[in-house]
A = this chain, B = another copy of it.
């Protein structure tokens, strides 16, 4: 099955947004064994979209269109596709009802143009959208499979994975060319990409099926293991064997797999150990709290987070003596230590964790460069404080500081952190 992905939107052509949808769709199709042969971007223009769609019908078996399903006049994908295929548009009563409920629930006025989103080319299946008002459409016509998806990635990707992929899999069943491609990502923290590559060099040099691809990802490094096989079970086994070999070499540098990010791994360890946590953040400005509270049920371990941004807040809320800040400055090992101990006492938590640093762009002074950050962890059985220098933009420094803080928590909960 040959696929062409057509992204519709003048904002893509003008370079205002980037076509992540084509990448994400191609990745998903790969695991079905469907190859993408062309990707095209075209503006919100009926003539040009028609021509591009006709070309695709001539050279691909599966055509996926993203974008242009909104309610306004420049959203023309639904109508143009139906016109090219010679199919009338029919109103979906299910979606009409959903739209009415949606607008009444959020108390927003519903206008006539909104109902365009309930129109479906004859014979099309509706792909439901929990995250927005535009449904997708799955259609078979002229011996081709045609899928229309909304443009916003948050709506497009779950719809594609959860609804379109199963329909495509059904369609492909019995096709003997179907090769199963599966992959797993190991997430590594605390090792740079090149140090990681050095450690597993023999495995990388002898790779075949599965393949092993190292990737740098912000403050982390990832390893993607990809196996090709005739059955999911066999692919799974091939991957497990290689994953075990890698884990054998990298040990606890591997902290998680696939979508398990560091905050989720830490949350699981906190749940398992039955420990509670309190945070005191300065330069990271609440990002650490934000990341941990992205995990559902984080209220079971996170008692509170204090963003003590001003010196007054450090003094009045955390009980740090003004003399200490005057003597060594707010960005110092002493203040980090007192923040962690202070917030733990204040919240009566098992673990106190603090971050204080210079996120920039201003604030650096002689001896205290941009990115200088102190992290401290305070628990009954352990006191840990360390100095770091992070680099990058203000946001990158915040991200790296929160990432390293999460890793300290992980190591502590695994019993691998030592008192300083």
Q: Is the CB of B39 within 8 A of A194?
A: no
Counted per complex, copies of this chain come to: 2
Contact with B along A145-172 (1 / 0, CB 8 A): 0000000101000000000000000000
Number of interface residues of A (CB under 8 A): 105
Contact with B along A120-140 (1 / 0, CB 8 A): 000000000001000000000
Q: Which A residues, 276 to 317, have Cβ-Cβ distances below 8 Å to chain B?
A: 279, 281, 284-290, 292-294, 296-299, 302-310, 312-313, 316-317
| A30 proximity list for chain B (CB < 8 A) | 14-15
Q: Which A residues, 1 to 38, have Cβ-Cβ distances below 8 Å to chain B?
A: 10-20, 22-30, 35-38
State which of B23, B348, B360 has its C-beta within 8 Å of the C-beta of A296: B360
In the complex, whether A247 has a CB less than 8 A from a CB of chain B is no
| A306 proximity list for chain B (CB < 8 A) | 304-307, 317
In the complex, whether A192 has a CB less than 8 A from a CB of chain B is yes
| A303 proximity list for chain B (CB < 8 A) | 309-310, 312-313
Q: How far is the CA of A289 from the CA of B313 in the complex (A)?
A: 14
Q: Is the CB of B19 within 8 A of A74?
A: no
| A347 proximity list for chain B (CB < 8 A) | 312-313, 316-317
Q: How far is the CA of A83 from the CA of B303 in the complex (A)?
A: 59
Q: Is the CB of B106 within 8 A of A224?
A: no
Q: Is the CB of A393 within 8 A of B131?
A: yes
